[in-house]
Each structure stands twice: as structure tokens, then as C-alpha cells.
């Protein structure tokens, strides 16, 4: 059974930046990570952000090409299949990918306007219906987001 962690962020939080923080934390615990995005443009944006969001650390990562071949502890992609050997998925899309249950842990974000929050509720229900172990984490405005 997959564990799903929903991080409920303040309305004006930069979700991509917070995702980078969570990617860094998951990697520092020895996890292999797949970051699922909606497009190659978004994958490139996360790739760029992982290089610059913290100037004091390096997070090894690579963008997954169409053939799905890449060797890195952190892989960013938008394909319909996930890379093998990854334990954690960070989902930056509005839907639950069909391969989500291949991961032992899934990280989701609840942020933005009401439409985006409604999409997160739908993902929550989907995971619940699949029998996942769901955990909610409220990140308030005073929480350190760095």
C-alpha cells in the first residue's frame, strides 16, 4: 500500500519551490525520486529551479527523455510511465497518474485557487478509494518554507 502525503500550502505559496524543498528532503533520506510534471516545459522549469533554489547544496537530478532512459537519483518527467527503481513520486499534475501505485510514497500539494484545491480533493478521493495510507500536513504562513 502506498503512503500519500498531502501538503496543504498557504494560498500564495510557490508550489514549485516548496516541491524542491520536499525533493531535497526525500533525497537526503536516501530515496530515489520521480517528479511527475504535465509537460517537458514544466519538467525543464523544475530542472532549472533545482539548480538554483538553494545556493548551498546540490541535488542530483536529470530530465527523463522520451525513451525513458536516465540514471539519476532524481528524475523529472511527464511520460505515461515512470522510471524503474524509484520509491517516491512527487506529483505536480492535477491528476493521479495511472502508475502511481508503483511508488511506496507519493507527495502531493494542495495550493492555489479554488479550482486547483478542488482538483487536489479529487486526487485525495482517488487515493482513498485505492486504499492508500493518506496523511495531511498543513503548512502555515509562519512555517519555514526554505
- CA–CA distance, 40 with 77 (Å, rounded to integer): 7
For position 110, what pLDDT does the model report? Answer: 95
Helix, strand, coil percentages (3-state) for the chain, rounded to 5, are 30, 20, 45
Residue 143 clears pLDDT 60, i.e. is over it? no
- CA–CA distance, 122 with 124 (Å, rounded to integer): 5
Comparing 72 with 68, the larger pLDDT belongs to 72
What topology is assigned to 3-138 in CATH? Answer: Rossmann fold (3.40.50)
User: Residue 52 — pLDDT band, cuts 50, 70, 90?
Assistant: confident
Q: Is 33 helix (H, G, I), strand (E, B) or coil?
A: strand
Comparing 140 with 43, the larger pLDDT belongs to 43
For position 46, what pLDDT does the model report? Answer: 96
User: Is the pTM of the predicted complex or chain greater than 0.85?
Assistant: yes
Comparing 70 with 69, the larger pLDDT belongs to 70
For position 35, what pLDDT does the model report? Answer: 97
User: Residue 66 — pLDDT band, cuts 50, 70, 90?
Assistant: low
Residue 88 clears pLDDT 70, i.e. is over it? yes
Amino acid at each position: 500500500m502506498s503512503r500519500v502525503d498531502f501538503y496543504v500550502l498557504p494560498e500564495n505559496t510557490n508550489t514549485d519551490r516548496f516541491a524542491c524543498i520536499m525533493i531535497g528532503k526525500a533525497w537526503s533520506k536516501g530515496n530515489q525520486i520521480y517528479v511527475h510534471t504535465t509537460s517537458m516545459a514544466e519538467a525543464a522549469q523544475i530542472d532549472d529551479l533545482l539548480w538554483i533554489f538553494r545556493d548551498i547544496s546540490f541535488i542530483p537530478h536529470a530530465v527523463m527523455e522520451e525513451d525513458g532512459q536516465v540514471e539519476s537519483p532524481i528524475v523529472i518527467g511527464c511520460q505515461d510511465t515512470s522510471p524503474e527503481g524509484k520509491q517516491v513520486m512527487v506529483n505536480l499534475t492535477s491528476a493521479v497518474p495511472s502508475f502511481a501505485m508503483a511508488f511506496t510514497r507519493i507527495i502531493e500539494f494542495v495550493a492555489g485557487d479554488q479550482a486547483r484545491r478542488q482538483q487536489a480533493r479529487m486526487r485525495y478521493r482517488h487515493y482513498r478509494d485505492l486504499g492508500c495510507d493518506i496523511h495531511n500536513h498543513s503548512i502555515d504562513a509562519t512555517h519555514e518554507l526554505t
